[in-house]
Structure 1
Amino acid sequence: MPSNSATGAFPATRSTAAILAVVVLVAVNLRLALSSLPAVTTLIQDETGWNDAFIGALTTVPVLGMGVFALGVPRLAGRIGRRSAVSLALVAMAAGLTLRLAGAVAVTLLLSAMLAGLSIAILGGLVPGIVRERLSHSMGLATSLWTAAMMGGAALGAALTLPLSDLTGGWNRALAFWALPAVAAVAAWLWLEREEPAQVATVTIVRLRDLPWRDSTAWALTAFMSVNSVVFYSMLAWTAPSYAERGYTPETAGLFFGIFTGSGIIAALTLPAWSHRTQRRRTLFATTVVGCSASLVAIALVPTFAPLLILVALSFTLSGGFAMSLGLLSEYAADAAGSARLTAMAFTITYTSAAFSPFVIGAIMDAVDSWTLVFSLLAGVTLLQLPAVFFLHRGRVVH
């Protein structure tokens, strides 16, 4: 009887429900490391005296890792197998988060951030492909759960880290607490694959020279995703600190941050399906861009006006635009290999360019100390997606 593991699939005895449950647990961990730290930024700076540029770098490092490591993930999977690579990534995630117990040492937090970036690159690059093979009959449900679980994990880290710091007696303990879900994911993943030994997976090795560098549609999609991610990771790093510095308590700022990270779940679950059905898809994309920019203008000029409503609108439009763009990575590809090449190009450029935005925002704040300027700049940057939207036609195939 042929083995499923040759393609990185799970033992056939595992039920769909069991696989979905483990996939959800893995997905929850993909944003916890990123969203938990900004929630206690104020506490960290009060204790350590680190400037805004360094605090921004703590978000820059893992996002940069997501971009830099993206091309190497298929090669790692080809060498040790996809399931083993996922196990390695989850262990690295748990180890990196545990290192935050010594978070008052700058190099320790940077190392933790590097491990998070490596882990997220591996998990984000491999798990969806495994799920597509093993759960092809439930792909829509699996994709929705994967997306919702990622955003739910981000919301948990954003909303609960500050209360955990009060409960555990320190921000470093609160940050390290999130190693527990990663440990649980390691155990669940090993249980899922234990009936068969991991073998070398059949994967598409992606090389830089093979990417669709000369395709205008590929560049348009990459540009849209890149600008969207610049804004998202800027907000991920600085939403809570900005509201705390504008007169809100750290607890309220943390609540706002949790609302921002969690509200995108609804958009991620609804807008891609709408985008697939509507004949005015580019109009829908453009609407998310304009809505996002308008929300940022409101945050810049009137931060005390209906902040929860504004943050929900920002999250809905920002996350919805990105979720719709993810669907185009498959739609614009002729086959699985083409999808892998387009995805590698988009993710490498998107995350590498977006990585520097939290650091740049921190440097701007160190120089001019004006959140009004920062959010006004982000509102303007958001509108740079509009030219790219014009090229996102239906029926295009990237070569």
Structure 2
Amino acid sequence: MNQTPGIDTSSRVTRATTSAALTWKDGLWLAAIVAIGINLRPLLTSISPLMATIRAATGLSFSGASLLTSLPVVAMGFGAFGAGLLTRVVGETRGVALGLLAIAAACGARLAASSGMAMLLTALVAGIGVAGIQALLPGVMKQRFHARVPLAMGLFSASIMGGGGLGASLSPYVAKAFDSWHAGLAMWAVPAALACACWLALQRAASSSHDTAHAGVHAPHAQHVAIWRKRRAWALGVHFGLVNGGYTTLVAWLPAYYQQRGASVAHSGSLLAAMTVFQAASALLLPLAAASFRDRRPWLVAGLSAQFIGIVGLLASPDAAPLAWVAIAGAGLGGTFSLTLVTSLDHADDHRIAGRLVAFVQGVGFIIAAISPVVAGRLRDLTGSFTTAWIMLAVCIAAMIALTFAFSPRSYAHWLGVR
């Protein structure tokens, strides 16, 4: 059987199960990846617990305020499509650094933002920064940790979710301490700037020891793969998008949902923080559990099923065990987020093609995910409750469970040859 260039199914399992010990250099790279990942979600999750205060100060409606969460996700989607151009122009190293600088600048600008338009602008700039990082870093991880992609992606995803939890839990307290919601949002400029400094220092050290890849150099066959013409790429993108529609919707509206039911700002924010704790744990543990299995589908279904149970619990009995529902939903969200990206990387042995596929998947996926909180906000405006929004999420999750069965490992060797 002829294989498509860039695919090496015979070696994938061997590499995936390699047990070579990690070096201290690997540890530094993984630490840098974690430091970067922590900065990719506070710009979203810090908004939600302070939503009522922000709406009162800026005059935004529920639908308009939902854009503070959805607009960065839209930017993540469209920005991911420019990953190839960004790599060719500035390379992966500078691209990631520029993304961190954009996040730092946007969060810092929130210290003085007083209008809805200014807040939306900062959301857009930060989203573009996140898009560049999320599109470029997986390819770097595929190349540097070829035998340990589930570990690297699990740590990256866990740090993303953990950062989201920090955003939800710390921002309300900082806002209260400084008597300013601006301070609660702007504080996240500091870790972004520190992560950028650490990343550039690591890259300089790696360059001086010739221990880094030549960013932007593509093999001939990698340049001519039209990812957008492949049905599998679109299927993975839709899967990633609808799964993460649950994340964006809960980040935007879970605190508002429980505040509507009488919870305080601090308590509702703590529920979102608890959800992200379980997201972070599952984002690391589920890929590690699936690492020795070539077929990721049973693990994806397990994660989606947990997400489904959590959403149904929020819908059917929200006050009986709110912590349990958000924990179950969070575990499902975190695990499927990272494992869907691992599954996408599995589709190509060449890190360039794998990176382009993951960038495309995130581009399609984040655009879809951005629609979800807007729809949920609109449904809340029309109906006065979030019941219809939770039903929408449950239906989408059920559909994605069905789609998961199409991702058979036997199809990895053929998808590039199929339009």
Give the TM-score normalised by structure 2: 0.84
Q: Does 1:46 align with 2:60?
A: no
- Partner of residue 11, structure 1: none
- Partner of residue 124, structure 1: 134
Q: 2:76 is aligned with what amino acid?
A: M
- Partner of residue 362, structure 1: 377
C-alpha separation between the residues in 2 aligned to 1:277 and 1:138? Answer: 10
- Partner of residue 170, structure 1: 180
* Contact 2:248–2:370, Cα closer than 8 Å, also in 1: yes
1:319 aligns with one of 329, 334, 337: 334
Q: 1:154 is aligned with what amino acid?
A: G
2:229 aligns with one of 204, 213, 216: 213
1:184-223 to 2 correspondence within 5 Å?
184-194=194-204, 201-204=215-218, 210-211=226-227, 213-215=229-231, 217-223=232-238
* Contact 1:220–1:392, Cα closer than 8 Å, also in 2: no
The 1:377–1:326 alpha-carbon spacing in structure 2 relative to 1, beyond 3 Å, is: same
Please identify runs of 4+ aligned residues in structure 1 that moved more than 6 A: 197-200, 205-209
2:277 aligns with one of 262, 265, 275: 262
Q: 1:181 is aligned with what amino acid?
A: P
1:1-399 to 2 correspondence within 5 Å?
15-134=25-144, 141-194=151-204, 201-204=215-218, 210-211=226-227, 213-215=229-231, 217-277=232-292, 281-397=296-412, 398-399=415-416
The 1:316–1:115 alpha-carbon spacing in structure 2 relative to 1, beyond 3 Å, is: same
Q: 2:135 is aligned with what amino acid?
A: G
TM superposition shift of 1:132? 4.2
- Runs of 5+ unmatched residues, structure 1: 1-13
Q: 2:304 is aligned with what amino acid?
A: V
C-alpha separation between the residues in 2 aligned to 1:163 and 1:192? Answer: 33
Q: 1:146 is aligned with what amino acid?
A: F
TM superposition shift of 1:390? 2.2
C-alpha separation between the residues in 2 aligned to 1:60 and 1:362? Answer: 11
TM superposition shift of 1:133? 3.9
The 1:199–1:152 alpha-carbon spacing in structure 2 relative to 1, beyond 3 Å, is: closer
How many residues get paired?
A: 386
More off after superposition, 134-143 vs 361-370? 134-143
More off after superposition, 295-304 vs 14-23? 14-23
Counterpart of 2:159 in 1: which secondary structure?
Answer: helix
Counterpart of 1:322 in 2: which secondary structure?
Answer: helix
- Runs of 5+ unmatched residues, structure 2: 1-23
Q: 2:286 is aligned with what amino acid?
A: L
The 1:93–1:210 alpha-carbon spacing in structure 2 relative to 1, beyond 3 Å, is: same
Give the TM-score normalised by structure 1: 0.88
RMSD between aligned residues? 2.7
Identity among equivalent pairs (%):
28
C-alpha separation between the residues in 1 aligned to 2:254 and 2:385? Answer: 14
